[in-house]
Structure 1
Amino acid sequence: MHPQQNRSSVSEFILLGFSNQPHTQLLLFVVFLAIYLVILFGNSLIFSLIRIDSCLHTPMYFFLANLSFLDISYTTTTVPQMLLHLLSKKKSISYAGCIAQMYIFLSLGITECILYAVMAYDRYVAICHPLHYTLIMSRSVCVKMATSSWVGGFLFAMVHTGVTMRLPYCGPNEINHFFCEVPAILKLACADTRVTEAVVFVMGVILLMTPVFLILVSYIFILTAILRISSAEGRFKAFSTCTAHIITVTLFYGAAMFMYMRPASSYSPERDKYFSFFYNVVSAILNPLIYSLRNKDVKGALVKLMGKKCPLNQGGRRIVLWYRTPGF
């Protein structure tokens, strides 16, 4: 196509969603609304507790607060619109709105990929270098690591969105998905998408496999350190703090890899939208359940155990709180 024609003539896209049957749509609306409310409640509760309770002012909970805020934002990018489309006949999204949704979704998704690696490093330091933990994971270092995760997510997403939306979209405008995701959008391009698909694949490998590699290395060292702990109780406590992270990371990266690290010929819209729902929504509902609400420190904050000393034990090792004033 001539460069001057490399412009979209599509003003809006139609999101087909999960179903076009009225009774099925109503059922899906009720189910998805319930899931979304649980996500908002659970993650907002964790975020608020970590900010308010000084007992939770440690690096681990600081990163968990970031994760909770990230999950709220992540799901809010797609789920409210999906709920609206389940109740309305008009299921369109403007071209500009589609670009914005794609960019924000990618930004938050990439940020979460990086943040999981940061959290694995935090657990590595806590278990493998407990005596130097507060020195290594100081408040300023944690803020810089969290900030780098957010900045990296928004910068990489800019490239990802740019290479996708530079293609012309001049014909079909029905997206067999519930939001504007890259693989679904590329199927509508009026040009050869092989170069773009290759770029998306390479970026997927870099942005997914690099954090996975760092997480894997961190947990190899963690496992080695845990096996050296003499007491069975100590090994159990150290291992239990990391098990939840491993479960969540496996679920999140597994679904994301399936979507972004495979040839375009293997795309299946009906199947892919469920995988997207999994790492977009299911991981956000599991995080507060697996990471925090099963934790005795968070339970202590929930019941407002006023007057008691803050628990100073994480990963089977003693650590020191950053400070005790409310808020971050």
Structure 2
Amino acid sequence: MTSLFDKVSTAKELKESEDFSGGLLWNVQDILPKGSLGLITGSEKSMKSSLAQDLAQAMALGEPFAGRETTKTNVLFIQNENSRLTEHQRLKGSRRDSPDNLYFLHGGAFKLDTWKYDSQGKKHNVGLRELYSFILEKDIGLVILDPLKDLLEDNEIINANQPMAEVLRGITSLRNTLDMKHDKYVTFMIVAHARKQAGEQSLTERDFRIIPSHILGATTIPAWYEVAFTMSPKINSKTKNGYSVMKVFARNFAFNNEILWGYVGSTFTSIEQDKKEPDSELVEKVKQETPIETTKESALAFLDLAKGQGKVIEND
């Protein structure tokens, strides 16, 4: 007879297990552990969807993200906002390749709040049940759901604590089931909008930063995450170009650096404090498609805004 406690572990077993040798297992070194429940949040035009797509492509390819090593894995991107044509255009404009282990689901049919009862009267989540099967079939290691507001059939749920908590518990339960039954550490990242007022304040106040509690909707949403990437939109006073400041919030580790995200030519890239310039490899790539003068101008403008924000330290 199966017992609820068949898989009980001692503290010693958990600490010394070879499954966890080396400490935290990372999707993205230093900022995103495997098996995380995460949020990507920012106000409109904060580049949060660009960040989500870059993360998806980087992990599917095993390429660096935000200057950090990634662990290559299969990725599912559930996109309920963009059309397939929009996604085609974004992928065509990306600096990264489009691999066949990065899967997209469009059309808006996938919902997080659709339940059915089986013949025995047991309630189950329709979308998450199918997602569970797809994760196992394709050996998915990262699931991105974008955006939260369009993943809900009932428009009232996003602002209601109890129903929203039930939705989020479903994702937590799915993550834990994949862990306990299949030894799979799958990361789930939800893209969620921040309040309009927070975005406006970020644009007018240099030192203002969006935090998880600025997320639009029920307070159970920011209470749920284990890792959150927040995007605070800013305007370069010299060039009038937009960029965003990314901060990392986490329960089980600390990462205090800020990362600036913006476009160099047509390439979405980042600068972190203590770095003098945008990723030189990326700049070289966009030179093939963009006039050198334009690329240099964009790169220098991005560098200038980083200096202005105190995120770049000049070397003597």
**TM score, norm. by length of structure 1:** 0.25
Q: Which has the higher helix share?
A: 1
Tell which has more relative contact order, 1 or 2 (C-alpha 8 A, sep 6+). 1
**TM score, norm. by length of structure 2:** 0.26
Q: Which has the higher strand share?
A: 2
